[in-house]
Amino acid sequence: MAMLIRIQVLLLLLCTVTATDDSEAETEAEALLRWKSTLINANSLSSWSIANSTCSWFGLTCDTAGQVTELNLLSAGLNGTLDALYSPAFQNLTTINLCNNSLVGTIPANISMLRTLTVLDLSINNLVGDIPANISMLIALTILDLSDNNLTGAIPYQLSKLPRLVHLDLGDNHLTNPEYAMFFTPMPRLEFLCLSNNHLNGTFPEFILNSTSLRMEYLDLSANALSGPIPDSLPEIAPYLRYLFLSSNGFHGSIPNSLSRLQKLQALDVYENNLIGEIPEELGNLTNLKALVLSRNRLVGSLPPSFARMQQLLFLGIESNYINASDTPHHDSNLRGLDISNNNLLGNFPMVLRNLSELKVLNLGYNRISGEIPSWWESEKDVQDIFSSVAQHIVGDGCRTDFWRGNWLPRGGSITNNWPILFSFVGRTKITVAQGLTNNRWVRDLQGSLSNRALADYLALWDELQLVSVQSGQADSVLWRFSTNGVFSVSSAYKFFFSPSIRCPHGELIWKTKEPAREDNVNLNVQDDAVAPSSNIPSLAINGVDTSGGAGVGPEQGLCA
């Protein structure tokens, strides 16, 4: 009897404890506030307070029942870890987007217990350590983006178990090869795969070649240490491929003719590999192609005449090969960027460029072109407008920087953009900074009676110019905003024209490339050639220094040799 009583008491205590646990279960609001308390200076989360309804908190989305379904805190300035993020209170959470913050530490394994997740984006942070293999338990996941972190270790083969995954981006980490033999039928719905800028080696990844998915549209394996031939079977593996990036690897052999069967391809980048032979004539069948980058290989011969069929092509890069024909295909084109520098071009200035009315960036440097640049080359205005918008001129002696149009002002910008009303009173003139500042020569370029608004601009410009001092003997320079070292490269111009500035949130991506910056020269580069420029040539930059306003040095310009 005594034993029975003790058992009943024990059962009662257990029931009491269970009831207490249920009544004290953490709510969603409490869980989020607990995580917030671990963050440093979470100023963007000021609305996260028990004084406010949870569904009104910044970055949260709720369903009709008032339960949190989405946590969207991209670019929110968060600094801290993910260790305290998980809570069993999140029963309906489908989206975690913490892209572009300053999160540190590892990815906690318990994040895999959020079984309702369909989107997990932790990209562009400072996370370290391995990718937890049990992320494969998130079987509802459609988007997994862990790119731009400092993750290490092998790519977990368990990710191949994610049956609904559409978008997988592990680029810009320090990841190594997965255990290919352990891959299952990999990710049958996968459309986007980026493994760029990691430490993958060996031949073309086997799990891609063994894939049964026919949905792949985007494949980026650039900036790894992959080698061997580019597989002939890609059109059968990924017939709907639109973007293929294989740059900065060690692929060798010829460019497969079979790539011409990728009829939906819009961007093909094999920059900086060990490819040899001639450019296949069949590539001209890629009539949807917008960007073709074959630079820095060992290709020979000439550009195939079939390229004339690629009417949608916007950028063509064949720099640093052994191409020996001086003409590109003869057709009117939408081509905006052409880099054919460092090849074996011979003869006169390529006359076919006359048909390229949309051209913005041209590099012909390091060839053996001779003769005069023809007078019909009149693309200076478009090229200069594009270049000026993304280049900062550093004034030295002021002899090579355009006074009115260059981005050289101490507080940033150009006179043209900062004071457009005043600039409308400037005649058809082009003077350098040194010329304009000598005895206030710039004032004489103003024509007519200034309006009240123009007069205000005039006074503001006068004050700005008091901050300027030129330095005799020190050449002007140009700081290009889209390369890490500030030096212009055609590849960085390619990115500027055609790639998005940030990859989150997940919208439609035009294309991206992971090409390393190259120290090429700007626009019309005829360095080391025997070309005599005519008066109409767009002399925007030679050797990385702006020369668009450097012609016609007058007697007032005592600083310039």
Domain residue extents for the chain: 28-287
What pTM did the predictor assign?
0.72
Q: Report the alpha-carbon distance of residue 424 to residue 461 in Å, rounded.
A: 14
| Nearby residues of 487 by Cβ (< 8 Å), 6 or more positions away | 480, 517, 519, 544
- Per-residue pLDDT band for 149 (boundaries 50, 70, 90) equals very high
DSSP strand E in 131-273: where?
A: 143-145, 150-154, 167-169, 174-176, 192-194, 201-202, 218-220, 225-228, 243-245, 250-253, 267-269
The predicted-structure confidence for 387-402, as pLDDT tens digits, reads as follows 555 567 788 888 878 8
> 162 and 137 in contact (C-beta within 8 Å)?
no
Q: Which of 297-301, 350-354, 378-382, 467-471 is most confident?
A: 297-301
Q: Report the alpha-carbon distance of residue 415 to residue 446 in Å, rounded.
A: 13
The phi, psi pair for 99, rounded to 5°, reads: -60, 145
Burial of 317 from C-beta contacts in 10 A (0-12 / 13-18 / 19+): buried
Which residues on adjacent β-strands are paired with residue 478?
393
Looking at residue 423, its pLDDT comes to 85
- Per-residue pLDDT band for 5 (boundaries 50, 70, 90) equals very low
- Per-residue pLDDT band for 18 (boundaries 50, 70, 90) equals very low
- Per-residue pLDDT band for 520 (boundaries 50, 70, 90) equals very low
The predicted-structure confidence for 100-137, as pLDDT tens digits, reads as follows 999 999 999 999 999 999 999 999 999 999 999 999 99
SS3 218: strand
- What tokens appear for 159 in the block? 């990710």
| β-strands 68-72, 322-323 pairing | unpaired
- Written as one letter, the residue type at 506 is H
105 vs 357, residue with greater confidence: 105
Task: Give the DSSP letter string of 437-457.
Answer: HGGGGGGGGB-SPPPHHHHHH
Q: Report the alpha-carbon distance of residue 245 to residue 234 in Å, rounded.
A: 13
CATH architecture of the domain with range 28-287: Alpha-Beta Horseshoe (3.80)
pLDDT surpasses 60 at 1: no
Looking at residue 210, its pLDDT comes to 79
- Per-residue pLDDT band for 371 (boundaries 50, 70, 90) equals confident
Looking at residue 181, its pLDDT comes to 78
Looking at residue 141, its pLDDT comes to 96
Q: Report the alpha-carbon distance of residue 454 to residue 221 in Å, rounded.
A: 54
Token pair 């007069």 in the structure block, residue: 455
Q: Identify the sign of the CA torsion 62, 68, 69, 72.
A: positive
> 72 and 98 in contact (C-beta within 8 Å)?
no
310 vs 377, residue with greater confidence: 310
Burial of 46 from C-beta contacts in 10 A (0-12 / 13-18 / 19+): exposed
CA 245 to chain CA centroid, Å, is: 13
**Residue 320: how many other CB atoms lie within 10 Å:** 22
Looking at residue 491, its pLDDT comes to 52
Q: Which of 101-110, 412-421, 546-555 is most confident?
A: 101-110
DSSP strand E in 98-206: where?
A: 102-103, 119-121, 128-129, 143-145, 150-154, 167-169, 174-176, 192-194, 201-202
Q: Report the alpha-carbon distance of residue 333 to residue 313 in Å, rounded.
A: 8
> 102 and 124 in contact (C-beta within 8 Å)?
no
- Per-residue pLDDT band for 482 (boundaries 50, 70, 90) equals low
Lowest average pLDDT, out of 34-48, 80-94, 297-311, 494-508, goes to: 494-508
Lowest average pLDDT, out of 38-52, 224-238, 331-345, goes to: 331-345
pLDDT surpasses 90 at 321: yes
| β-strands 477-480, 391-394 pairing | antiparallel
Distances (CA, A) of 116 to 78, 120, 146, 422: 24, 11, 18, 59
**Residue 552: how many other CB atoms lie within 10 Å:** 10
- Per-residue pLDDT band for 481 (boundaries 50, 70, 90) equals low
Looking at residue 240, its pLDDT comes to 93
Bond prior to 374 in cis (omega within 30° of 0)? no
Angle, CA 174 vertex, CA 197 and CA 194 arms, to 5°: 40
With a pLDDT cut of 70, the percent of the chain lying above it is: 75
